[in-house]
């Protein structure tokens, strides 16, 4: 029954997270709010007229959809006082009073690192997100992101393909998937890790929900890695929130000609840790983690074993294979062979059939 009161109080009009906590300071529990007399509620000065009317009606049918959802396998509703509510999230200024979780609740309390970035990244940016997620997964660090297109999705996929857990923080109720094209990805995440949200069942993907959920992404994490971002973006909001929460902020630099490098470069100027490889993150977090000896790549430094003669002709902007042949004065056969080796080392990616870009 306690859960019903938590859900009901958060359903009340004009009650957001901060107001919710002000109310708890006076009434101590959500149940006490509903058991109090109307005069006691008015005397507190915490409630507007429409809120008082809602509390008087005490219509529990309004939360029945949430309660029904929680009866399904793998579905949980955690309040701030539940033992499974993640301690890391309690440290931020305004932790969500309630978390809806679909999947493994225990993974919320494991060491996590956020990987965030543009919804429309470069090929190299997507590869960075995937590679770093894989490396973190091999070190038993849970990758957390927002399941958006682009960098978020690449990070989740990288972790999943490393057979590891990953967490997606959603800006909707967990009965809905946004974007809809990520329905299969959401299923994989909830099966292996967890989908979480502070929004009640039935909540649509409203624009204001996504900046709000970003504080949960950064709040659950030990640090936030920004892969690619424009100056004015949700990614930069997440990085700002992470800094305000006292968390580490990491950023991957890129070409000055890449507009998506501007956010990362600004963060580095402001004090974010410049990241070239996984060691830069681990050194800053000072985690005592076992190195996986069977992992083929622990540091991106170690991946650069092949001293290819083509590197001087390649960049983070796409270049056609014919142009590489012309610039290098090498035969097409040699160029093709070198590019194949670089592809196998994940140092270049082929795009549009015959063009290549550096990924690291």
Please state the domain extents for the chain: 1-64, 103-294, 304-358
d(CA 359, CA 190): 30
Dihedrals phi, psi of 199, to nearest 5 degrees: -95, 140
- CB-count burial class (<10 Å; 0-12, 13-18, 19+) for 57: exposed
3-state secondary structure of 143: strand
pLDDT (0 to 100) of residue 1:
59
3-state secondary structure of 102: strand
Going through the chain in order, the beta strands assigned E by DSSP cover 75-79, 98-103, 112-116, 142-145, 166-169, 194-197, 223-226, 248-251, 273-274, 319-320, 348-351, 355-358
Dihedrals phi, psi of 146, to nearest 5 degrees: -110, 10
3-state secondary structure of 249: strand
pLDDT (0 to 100) of residue 119:
96
3-state secondary structure of 290: coil
* The CATH number of domain 103-294, selected from 3.40.50.450, 3.30.365.10, 3.40.50.720, 3.30.1540.10: 3.40.50.450
pLDDT (0 to 100) of residue 185:
97
Instruction: Report whether the peptide linkage leading into residue 179 is cis, meaning its omega lies within 30 degrees of zero.
Output: yes
Sign of CA dihedral 252, 255, 258, 264: positive
pLDDT (0 to 100) of residue 236:
96
Ranges of the chain with pLDDT below 70: 1, 288-307, 360
pLDDT (0 to 100) of residue 338:
87
Residue linked to tokens 């890449």: 258
pLDDT (0 to 100) of residue 301:
41
pLDDT (0 to 100) of residue 307:
64
The domain 304-358 having CATH identifier 1.10.3720.10: the answer here is: no
Read off the pTM: 0.83
pLDDT (0 to 100) of residue 340:
80
């Amino acid at each position: 029954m306690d859960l019903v009161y938590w859900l009901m109080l958060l359903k009340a009009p004009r009650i957001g997270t901060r107001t919710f906590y002000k109310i708890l300071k006076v009434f101590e529990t959500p149940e006490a709010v509903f058991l109090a007399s109307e005069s006691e509620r008015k005397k507190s000065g915490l409630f507007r007229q429409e809120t008082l009317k809602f509390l008087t009606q005490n219509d529990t049918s309004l939360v029945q959809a949430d309660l029904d959802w929680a009866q399904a396998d793998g579905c949980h509703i955690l309040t701030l006082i539940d033992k499974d509510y993640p301690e890391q999230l309690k440290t931020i200024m305004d932790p969500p009073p309630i978390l809806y979780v679909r999947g493994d609740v225990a993974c919320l309390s494991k060491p996590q690192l956020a990987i965030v970035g543009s919804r429309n990244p470069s090929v190299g940016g997507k590869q960075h997100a995937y590679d770093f997620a894989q490396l973190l997964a091999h070190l038993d660090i849970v990758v957390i992101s927002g399941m958006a297109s682009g960098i978020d999705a690449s990070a989740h996929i990288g972790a999943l393909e490393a057979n590891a857990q990953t967490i997606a923080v959603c800006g909707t109720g967990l009965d809905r998937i946004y974007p809809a094209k990520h329905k299969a990805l959401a299923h994989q995440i909830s099966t292996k890790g967890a989908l979480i949200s502070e929004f009640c069942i039935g909540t649509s993907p409203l624009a204001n929900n996504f900046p709000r959920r970003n504080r949960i992404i950064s709040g659950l994490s030990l640090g936030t890695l920004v892969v690619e971002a424009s100056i004015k973006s949700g990614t930069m909001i997440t990085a700002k929130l992470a800094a305000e929460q006292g968390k580490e902020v990491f950023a991957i630099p890129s070409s000055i000609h890449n507009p998506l490098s501007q956010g990362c470069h600004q963060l580095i100027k402001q004090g974010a840790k410049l990241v070239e490889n996984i060691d830069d993150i681990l050194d800053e977090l000072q985690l005592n983690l076992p190195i996986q000896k069977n992992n083929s790549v622990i540091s991106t430094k170690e991946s650069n074993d092949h001293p290819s003669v083509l590197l001087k002709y390649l960049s983070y902007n796409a270049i056609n294979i014919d142009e590489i042949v012309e610039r290098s004065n090498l035969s097409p056969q040699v160029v093709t062979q070198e590019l194949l080796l670089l592809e196998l080392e994940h140092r270049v990616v082929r795009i549009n059939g015959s063009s290549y870009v550096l990924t690291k």
